C-alpha cells in the first residue's frame, strides 16, 4: 500500500522488460497504478465479486490526476457494490451510441445473399437520399417527433416515398432491437420510434398500381413493338432494338417479372422439354414455365453464343455483349409509347398477362404456378408437385388470346 501522490508517481521506476508493476493506493481500496516497461502509468480499479476479478482501467497518468482517479474509482466501486459491472455499463453506453449508419450497414450485412442486388441498391439509394442527415445520429436519439416530422416532410414530395423510407427505417431499428443486447442478454433498444406513425394513423394511403394494356390497345402496342427496329439507323442499334422487341413480347406472353426475363440465361432453357426454369426469383422459389410455339420462335431468333437470351450492348453501342444482359431499355419503352400512344411500363406487361389469364377463367392453381405466387397460408402448397403439362394448356390459351387480339 502506498499514498499515491504526484511526487511518488513521478519517481516510480519502469517495470522490467515484459513485466508490469502494480502499486496500490492506501486511500481508496481497490485503486492501483500499473506501470509498464515503457513507463506507461495507468490507474486501474480491481474488484472481486462472486470469486471473479473484474479489472477496469480508469485513466492514464499524468493526463488524469490522482485526485480525479480516486473520485472515479469511488464511483466505479459504488457501482460494483450496487451489483453493476462498470465495464458492462460502459459497453452498453457504447452500444447506445451506435449510429443509424452503422445499424444500416449491419442490417445490410446480416441479410447477406438473401438481399438481391437491386434491392440492396434501392436501400442504399433511399438511405443516401432521405436518411443520410441522420447517419451519424445514435439510434437511441431518434425520437418519435423526429420520425413524424421527417415523414411529413417527405410526404410533401411523395406520399408513397415517405412510407417507403419509414418502412426501411423501421426495419433497421427493429434489427437493432433484436441484435444489440446487454450483458444479461436483454435488448438495449426496446422502442421503435416509427411506431408513432401507426399510433397517430399517419401512414399515407397508397393505391396499388393497376395499370394494364387494355384489350383494345393491345394491337397498337404490339404493332409499335414490332416496328422498333425500323426506327434505328445503325446495324448495332437495329440489333439492340430487336433484343428489346423480343424482351417486351417475352414478358407479355410469360408474365415474368422484368428482372427475371432480362436476366434469363440459355442455361435456363430446355428446348427438348419446351420449358424454362428460373432459380433466382423474388420469392426464392424456382419458377418453371412451359414454352409455347410463339415463345420458342422468339428464342430461336435470339440464339447466340452469349450467356443471356436478351443480350445487352456495349456503352458505345458498337456491339452486343456476350456476358451481360439487357439492363434498362427505357428509351425503347419511350419509343413504343410514342409510336402507339399507349402508356405502359414493363411491369404493366405482367399485370396485363394476369388480367388476361383471369378473364379466361384460368383456374387458381394454374395461375399461381404460372406467376410463381406463393401463399404462406396455403399449407398444401409444399406438397403439390408442379406438373408442367398441366400448365401447358392454360399457357397456350393465354397466348392464343393475345395473338387473336393483335391480328
Contact 278, 270 (CB under 8 A): no
Residue 178 neighbours by CB distance under 10 Å: 11
Instruction: Clarify whether residues 265 and 140 are in a common domain.
Output: no
Q: Give domain status of residue 89, yes or no.
A: no
Q: In the prediction, which pLDDT does 380 show?
A: 44
Domain count, the chain: 3
- The Cβ-side half-sphere exposure at 366, using a 13 Å CA radius, reads 18
| 3-class secondary-structure state, position 332 | helix
CATH code where residue 73 lies:
3.30.160.390
Q: Give domain status of residue 210, yes or no.
A: no
Q: In the prediction, which pLDDT does 248 show?
A: 97
Instruction: Clarify whether residues 372 and 227 are in a common domain.
Output: yes
Q: Give domain status of residue 17, yes or no.
A: yes
| 3-class secondary-structure state, position 25 | strand
Asked if residue 277 has pLDDT above 80, the reply is yes
Q: Give domain status of residue 397, yes or no.
A: yes
Q: How far is CA 346 from the centre of its chain?
A: 22
| 3-class secondary-structure state, position 55 | strand
Q: In the prediction, which pLDDT does 383 show?
A: 42
Nearest to 195 by CA among 255, 151, 251: 151
Q: What is the pLDDT of residues 32-63, one digit of tens each?
A: 889 998 888 999 888 776 666 677 788 889 88
Min mean pLDDT across 122-131, 220-229, 366-375 is at 366-375
Q: In the prediction, which pLDDT does 204 show?
A: 92
Instruction: Clarify whether residues 237 and 332 are in a common domain.
Output: yes
Contact 23, 12 (CB under 8 A): yes
Q: In the prediction, which pLDDT does 300 show?
A: 94
Where is the domain boundary, 84, 114, 141?
Answer: 84
Mean pLDDT of 311-328: 76
Q: What is the pLDDT of residues 330-384, one digit of tens each?
A: 888 999 999 999 999 999 999 999 999 999 999 888 888 888 876 544 544 444 4
pLDDT band at 88 (very low <50, low <70, confident <90, very high): low
Instruction: Clarify whether residues 257 and 145 are in a common domain.
Output: no
Model-level pTM? 0.60
Q: Give domain status of residue 92, yes or no.
A: no
Instruction: Clarify whether residues 346 and 379 are in a common domain.
Output: yes
**Cα separation of 201 and 151, whole Å?**
12
Write phi, then psi, for 47 (nearest 5 degrees): -140, 130
Q: In the prediction, which pLDDT does 404 show?
A: 95
Residue 396 neighbours by CB distance under 10 Å: 14
Percent of all residues in the chain with a pLDDT value above 70, rounded to a whole number:
86
Q: Give domain status of residue 207, yes or no.
A: no
Instruction: Clarify whether residues 65 and 149 are in a common domain.
Output: no
Strand pairing class (320-325; 31-36): unpaired
Q: Give domain status of residue 254, yes or no.
A: yes
Where is the domain boundary, 84, 110, 137?
Answer: 84
Instruction: Clarify whether residues 220 and 322 are in a common domain.
Output: yes
Instruction: Clarify whether residues 235 and 363 are in a common domain.
Output: yes
**Residue 132: in which H helix or E strand, if any?**
none
Q: What is the pLDDT of residues 182-218, one digit of tens each?
A: 655 667 788 899 999 999 999 998 776 668 999 999 9
> In the predicted model, what is the mean pLDDT of the chain?
85
For residue 401, cis peptide bond before it (omega within 30 degrees of 0): no
Instruction: Clarify whether residues 229 and 377 are in a common domain.
Output: yes
Where is the domain boundary, 18, 53, 84?
Answer: 84
CATH code where residue 169 lies:
1.10.150
Radius of gyration of the chain (CA): 33
Q: What is the pLDDT of residues 95-119, one digit of tens each?
A: 678 899 999 999 999 888 777 787 8
C-alpha cell at 376: 404462406
Q: Give domain status of residue 317, yes or no.
A: yes
Mean pLDDT of 74-99: 69
Q: What is the pLDDT of residues 285-319, one digit of tens each?
A: 888 999 999 999 999 999 988 899 999 876 665 66
C-alpha cell at 39: 513507463
How would DSSP label each residue in 152-178? Answer: HHHHHH-HHHHHHHHHHHHHHHHHHHH
Q: In the prediction, which pLDDT does 97 show?
A: 81
Instruction: Clarify whether residues 398 and 331 are in a common domain.
Output: yes
Contact 79, 120 (CB under 8 A): no
CATH code where residue 361 lies:
1.10.443.10
| 3-class secondary-structure state, position 292 | coil
Strand pairing class (41-49; 287-290): unpaired
C-alpha cell at 240: 439492340
**Cα separation of 364 and 367, whole Å?**
5
Q: In the prediction, which pLDDT does 143 show?
A: 94
**Cα separation of 351 and 357, whole Å?**
10
CA angle 252, 258, 261 (to 5 degrees): 80
**Residue 400: in which H helix or E strand, if any?**
helix 388-405
For residue 62, cis peptide bond before it (omega within 30 degrees of 0): yes
Q: How far is CA 42 from the centre of its chain?
A: 45
Burial code (b: 16+ CB inside 10 Å, e: under 16) for 331-353 equals: ebbebbeebbebebebebbbbbb
Burial code (b: 16+ CB inside 10 Å, e: under 16) for 212-237 equals: bbeeebbebbbebbeebeeebeeeee
Q: Regarding predicted confidence, which is higher, 189 or 13?
A: 13
Instruction: Clarify whether residues 178 and 59 are in a common domain.
Output: no
Q: In the prediction, which pLDDT does 241 show?
A: 86
Asked if residue 267 has pLDDT above 80, the reply is yes
Q: In the prediction, which pLDDT does 164 show?
A: 94
Domain that holds residue 187: 100-199
**Cα separation of 245 and 26, whole Å?**
87
Contact 200, 148 (CB under 8 A): yes
Contact 236, 317 (CB under 8 A): yes
Instruction: Clarify whether residues 238 and 136 are in a common domain.
Output: no
Q: Which residue, chain included where needed, has cell 414490332?
A: 226
Q: In the prediction, which pLDDT does 93 show?
A: 64
Mean pLDDT of 69-94: 71
How would DSSP label each residue in 244-280? Answer: HHHHHHHHHHH---HHHHHT-BGGGEETTTTEEEESS
Amino acid at each position: 500500500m502506498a499514498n499515491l501522490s504526484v511526487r511518488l508517481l513521478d519517481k516510480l521506476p519502469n517495470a522490467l522488460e515484459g513485466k508490469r508493476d502494480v502499486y496500490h493506493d492506501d486511500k481508496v481500496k481497490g485503486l492501483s497504478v500499473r506501470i509498464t516497461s515503457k513507463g506507461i502509468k495507468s490507474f486501474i480499479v480491481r474488484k472481486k465479486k462472486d470469486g471473479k476479478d473484474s479489472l477496469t482501467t480508469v485513466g492514464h497518468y499524468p493526463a488524469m490526476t490522482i485526485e480525479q482517479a480516486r473520485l472515479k474509482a469511488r464511483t466505479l466501486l459504488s457501482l460494483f457494490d450496487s451489483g453493476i459491472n462498470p465495464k458492462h455499463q460502459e459497453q452498453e453506453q457504447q452500444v447506445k451510441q451506435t449510429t443509424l449508419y452503422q445499424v444500416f450497414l449491419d442490417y445490410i450485412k446480416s441479410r447477406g445473399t438473401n438481399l438481391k442486388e437491386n434491392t440492396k441498391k434501392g436501400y442504399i439509394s433511399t438511405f443516401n437520399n432521405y436518411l443520410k442527415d441522420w447517419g451519424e445520429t445514435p439510434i437511441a436519439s431518434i425520437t418519435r417527433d423526429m420520425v413524424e416530422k421527417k415523414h411529413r416532410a417527405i410526404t410533401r414530395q411523395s406520399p408513397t416515398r415517405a412510407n417507403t423510407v419509414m418502412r426501411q427505417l423501421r426495419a433497421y431499428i427493429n434489427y437493432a432491437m433484436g441484435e444489440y443486447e446487454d450483458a444479461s442478454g436483454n435488448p438495449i433498444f426496446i422502442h421503435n420510434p416509427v411506431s408513432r406513425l401507426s399510433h397517430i394513423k399517419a401512414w399515407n394511403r397508397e393505391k396499388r398500381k393497376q395499370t394494364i394494356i387494355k384489350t383494345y390497345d393491345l394491337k397498337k402496342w404490339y404493332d409499335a413493338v414490332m416496328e422498333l427496329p425500323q426506327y434505328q439507323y445503325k446495324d448495332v442499334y437495329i440489333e439492340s432494338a430487336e433484343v428489346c422487341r423480343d424482351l417486351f413480347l417475352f414478358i407479355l406472353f410469360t408474365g415474368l417479372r422484368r428482372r427475371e426475363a432480362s436476366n434469363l440465361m440459355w442455361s435456363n432453357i430446355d428446348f427438348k422439354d419446351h420449358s424454362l426454369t428460373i432459380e433466382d426469383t423474388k420469392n426464392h422459389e424456382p419458377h418453371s414455365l412451359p414454352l409455347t410455339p410463339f415463345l420458342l420462335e422468339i428464342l430461336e431468333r435470339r440464339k447466340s453464343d452469349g450467356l443471356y437470351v436478351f443480350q445487352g450492348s456495349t456503352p458505345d453501342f458498337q456491339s452486343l455483349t456476350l456476358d451481360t444482359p439487357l439492363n434498362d431499355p427505357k428509351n425503347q419503352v419511350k419509343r413504343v409509347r410514342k409510336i402507339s400512344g399507349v402508356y405502359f411500363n414493363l411491369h404493366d406487361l405482367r399485370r396485363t398477362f394476369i388480367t388476361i389469364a383471369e378473364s379466361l377463367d384460368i383456374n387458381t392453381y394454374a395461375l399461381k404456378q404460372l406467376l410463381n405466387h406463393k401463399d404462406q397460408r396455403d399449407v398444401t402448397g409444399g406438397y403439390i408437385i408442379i406438373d408442367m403439362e398441366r400448365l401447358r394448356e392454360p399457357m397456350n390459351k393465354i397466348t392464343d388470346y393475345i395473338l387473336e387480339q393483335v391480328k
